[in-house]
Amino acid sequence: MPPSIPETMWAAQITAFNKPYTISTVNTPQLRPNELLVKIHAAGFCHSDIQVRCGELNSPLSLIPSHEPVGTVVRVGKESASKRKSAIGGSRKIYGKLDPRFCDHRDRGGFKNDGCFATYMVADSATTIALPGSMSFEQGAPLLCAGATVWGATNKARPFLQAGDPIGVIGAGGLGQLGVQLAKALGYRTVAIDSRDASLQLTDGMPTVL
């Protein structure tokens, strides 16, 4: 039996630039035929969320920010029915807007359209990816933004590297820590470079969990 979906939900909204988020009660989003309704369990905060809040990206108001969501699929659009058998039924999902980066008319959750600092969010079923059961919601949330950024850089370097080769990760912040784990998982001798002792301590002995 499908879960009951309330008509309204909680959301953090940007109602004015350079001001704190407003916690509001808003309508639960309605689905288009190709979309999924996702109940959010974790959502990341990216540097670009600061830019959105400051008005630097010309986002519309009022806007629900964040583009790093993980949750469970609770409702399926008519054209997404095949998703029911593949991974819905309470399984964890992670998704992101994977439109071509240079399209002027792309829909971008958390930038142009409402994002995931809310109880529910809609997602295009074509860009929804199953999250491994061994990964927590919190681990999965940043992977299609910070994780995709780090993977893009590492993947470009792979033709010039072999397993066991040294690789340096400059900056051991959020992206850098993912980069260290990814490089170690790919079999490279990994060196983290940072001026902050606290960041280096986090990467020291970091396991390969990706």
Q: How many CB atoms lie within 10 A of CB 160?
A: 7
For the cut 60, the answer to whether the pLDDT of residue 48 exceeds it is yes
- Copy the structure tokens of residue 108: 């971008």
Over the stretch 165-182, which tens digit does the pLDDT of each residue have? 998 888 888 888 888 888
User: What does the pLDDT read at residue 90?
Assistant: 35
Task: Give the mean model confidence (pLDDT) for residues 68-91.
Answer: 64
pLDDT > 80? residue 208? no
Domain ranges of the chain: 8-131, 145-203
d(CA 95, CA 107): 14
Residue tagged 């029915």 (tokens): 81
145-203 belongs to which CATH class? alpha beta
- Tokens for 47? 């540097």
| Confidence tier at 84 by pLDDT (50, 70, 90) | very low
Select from 3.40.50.300, 3.90.180.10, 3.30.465.10, 3.40.50.720 the CATH code of 8-131: 3.90.180.10
The answer to whether residue 2 scores a pLDDT higher than 90 is no
Residue 78 gets which letter from DSSP?
A: G
Q: Do domains 8-131 and 145-203 have the same CATH topology?
A: no
For 164, counting Cβ atoms within 10 Å of its Cβ (0-12 exposed, 13-18 middle, 19+ buried), the class is exposed
